[in-house]
Amino acid sequence: MSEADLEAGAELLRALANAHRLAIVAELNNGPRCVHELVEALGVSQPLVSQHLRILRASHLVRAERRGREIAYSLGDEHVFHIVHDAVVHATEGQPSELRPDRLTS
């Protein structure tokens, strides 16, 4: 791997380095969502969701498509969820099953 490849990988991981962004990716794995749907699903404020979506979009992990007056967000590709899922599974290995995150299982 070249230094440029490693730097690109580091940028991707930085973009995902927040629990709210991981939750957004997990929710978008279920299909496109508008901001208000993400706010409801995640139980966080609209400005916070919008801020995290901006970061994910800037890293091309999430894309946006206008639906009339709303914008629907979806994953950039299927690999995004796999990265998040694998990271969470790896991070929670060895934890008792009741502490393992069930939200990211597919």
93 — pLDDT class (breaks 50, 70, 90): confident
Kindly report the average pLDDT of the chain as a whole number. 90
Residue 65 CA to its chain's centroid (Å) = 17
78 — pLDDT class (breaks 50, 70, 90): confident
Asked if residue 104 belongs to a domain, the reply is no
Asked if residue 80 belongs to a domain, the reply is yes
DSSP-assigned letters across all residues of 60-106:
TSEEEEEETTEEEEEESSHHHHHHHHHHHHHHHTTS-GGGS--TT--
Mean pLDDT, range 16-28, rounded to an integer: 96
Asked if residue 105 belongs to a domain, the reply is no
Asked if residue 26 belongs to a domain, the reply is yes
Range(s) of the domain holding residue 48: 3-99
101 — pLDDT class (breaks 50, 70, 90): low
Q: Could you give the number of structural domains in the chain?
A: 1
Q: What is the pTM for the complete model shown?
A: 0.86
Q: 103 vs 10, 74, 75, 78, CA distance in Å? A: 25, 17, 17, 17
Asked if residue 52 belongs to a domain, the reply is yes
The CATH number given to whatever domain includes residue 66 is 1.10.10.10
